[in-house]
Each structure stands twice: as structure tokens, then as C-alpha cells.
Amino acid sequence: MIEKHIVLEDIDPVVFYGIGNQHLQMLRALYPKLRIVARDNVIRVIGDEEQMSAFEESSERMRQHILRFNALREEDILDIVKGRRTSDDIPDGVVCYTMSGRAIKARSENQQHLIDAYNDCDMVFAVGPAGTGKTYLSIALAVKALKEKTAKKIILSRPAVEAGEKLGFLPGDMKDKIDPYLQPLYDALEDMLPQVKLQDMMEKHQIQIAPLAFMRGRTLSDAVVILDEAQNTTPQQIRMFLTRMGWNTKMIITGDTSQIDLPRSQKSGLIEALQILKGIEGIGIVELNRKDIVRHKLVTRIVNAYEKFDKQYNNDESINKD
């Protein structure tokens, strides 16, 4: 009789144990010569040495399966214990999986260009209208890097620029005022990581979410760094951000040049950066368009309508000036 303790790292133990500990009960039936007791993220196993070795191997495969798919089914456990490949083995093109088990992958040609540019370049600009998936896909790539340990942390940032509302009127302290600007980033992360694990990663600073102003003076190494809504940066801000890049770091800069919330007299740092950095080796620029919109079909119609309006407005302005 031997005893071992198995620590479930990087995953939500509840997913491993199953609802009402159903998975544990199944494992006890599959390994009758072992006594299996779980507490928090530690499994205490006592019993036959041969079955102990098999259980250790199976539990590690189960952990890896959960890391990939954020889920574990009874049929997966049977396949793993019997040494078979599970039916969910990752197909080509999948970046990662949501908490509901949905595959996150490119849904358009330009989205695939974004994935390819991320793999080929250390810095990528992803520019396009609302709903093209540029932010969501970028965060999925960052989560994949963290899970595969090709990066030690994810750093997400946004400029805290008001879109018709005043920051000072929001209730609470500075964190309370800033959080609404960062909510879209929280939403994407919550879709891809268990709530308990996400909270733990944020407490350990493996995932950091901060306004752009907090980037000054830092060197960002061993990370995937995403700057969202970059069209609302000034030239000085984006230059400061881009020069924060450290060793073993990838940067993704996303933005929509049709939704600039800066004062009319202020030039967008994203537009200037795209002009200056075009053609620089190691920098990828991906332009998404309304054909890449993956939200509700009405979003495409709304984008088209506003593009038509803006074009007519600019023509009228030009005629009036003449």
C-alpha cells in the first residue's frame, strides 16, 4: 500500500471532480484497488502501486484535457482511462475553447490573417469596425499562450477616453471609475477561463488589466500584451506603449478608425502609427472589414448605414467649403 497526493494545477477542481463529485465516483469504480479522497485541489490516493501509476497518468491526461477544452465528460474519462484519444481532440485551426465548450477559431479570411500574423510577427495591428472579433480573437490567442506556457502573463490595456460621458460623474473611487472602460476585456476573459481560476490569475498578476496611463515606465517581458481601442490614443500615448515591449513578448494593437472619441483637434495615435510603421519587419498589419463582422446581422447593416452617412457628410462638407 502506498500513498500519493496529486495537486490539480491551472484548472478548476470542480470541473475535474464533476457535479456532485460524479467524476470522482466514476474514477473510484474504475480503480477499485485505490482509495481516492479529494479536498480543494488536492487528491489523496492510497492503494495498489500498479493502479496508482495508472491513475496518476490518467489524472494528468484529464487535467490536460480540461486545460484545452474547459470541460470534462464521462465519455472523456473512459477514453482516457482506456488509453484512447478523446472525441474532442483539437482540430486544426482552433485557438482555444470557451467555458461552454465552443471552439474559438477564425470565422473569416481576415480573422485567419490575424492569427497568422500573430504567429509570424511579434507586433500586430488589427484594425476594423465593431463586431469583427479583433479584440475577442486577440484575447483568445493570449489565453492560449498562457495555457501553453509560451507566455508568463497577459497584459490588457485600454485608453480611458470618454465616449460622450464624463469619467468624473461615475460613482466610486478611481478603480470604480476605470472598470467600466475595461469591462469588455473582463467579459472576454470570463468566457474563456473558469471564474475561480481567472480570479486567482489576476491576484497573482498573471493576468493584468490596466488603463494605458499605467503603462508608463514599465518594460513588458514574457507576456502577450493587448492594447484595445487604440484609435483613442494620442500619438504620444501609443508611442509610449509600443516602446514598453520587452523580451519574449508579443503585442496586439486593436482599433476602429471610424470610432474615434478624441477631440476633433486631436490626431489619433493609431492612424499615425499605421502610417509610420507600415512595412517595418516584424510588424504585421491586418485590416478587417464589414465582411468579417461576426455579431448579429444587424451590426453589419448598421456599419454599412453609418459608412454611407459619413461618406455623404464628408462630400457635403467638401462642397460647402468650395
Residue by residue, pLDDT tens for the chain (322 residues) are 789 999 998 888 999 999 999 999 999 999 999 999 999 999 999 999 999 999 999 999 999 888 888 888 898 999 899 888 776 665 668 898 888 778 899 988 999 999 999 999 999 999 998 889 999 999 999 999 998 889 999 999 988 765 444 445 555 555 566 677 778 888 999 999 888 888 889 999 999 988 888 888 899 999 999 999 999 999 999 999 999 999 999 999 999 998 888 888 889 999 999 999 999 999 999 999 888 876 666 767 787 788 788 777 666 665 555 5
How far is residue 233's CA from residue 147's CA, in Å, rounded to a whole number? 30
279 φ/ψ sector (left φ>0, alpha ψ -120 to 50, else beta): left
Residues near 136 by beta carbon (within 8 Å), at least 6 away in sequence: 104, 188
Residues 111/85, Cβ–Cβ less than 8 Å: no
How far is residue 183's CA from residue 76's CA, in Å, rounded to a whole number? 34
Specify the pTM.
0.73
How far is residue 222's CA from residue 37's CA, in Å, rounded to a whole number? 37
Nearest 5°: phi and psi at 148? -85, 0
Q: First vs last Cα of the chain: how many Å apart? A: 93
How far is residue 74's CA from residue 39's CA, in Å, rounded to a whole number? 21
Residues 10/147, Cβ–Cβ less than 8 Å: yes
Closest CA to 151 of 83, 242, 217, 248: 248
pLDDT at 172: 59
Q: Which three cell numbers stand for residue 38?
A: 479529494
List the beta bridge partners of residue 44.
5, 37
∠ CA 229-126-135 to the nearest 5 degrees? Answer: 55
Residues 182/237, Cβ–Cβ less than 8 Å: no
Locus of grid cell 502577450: 224
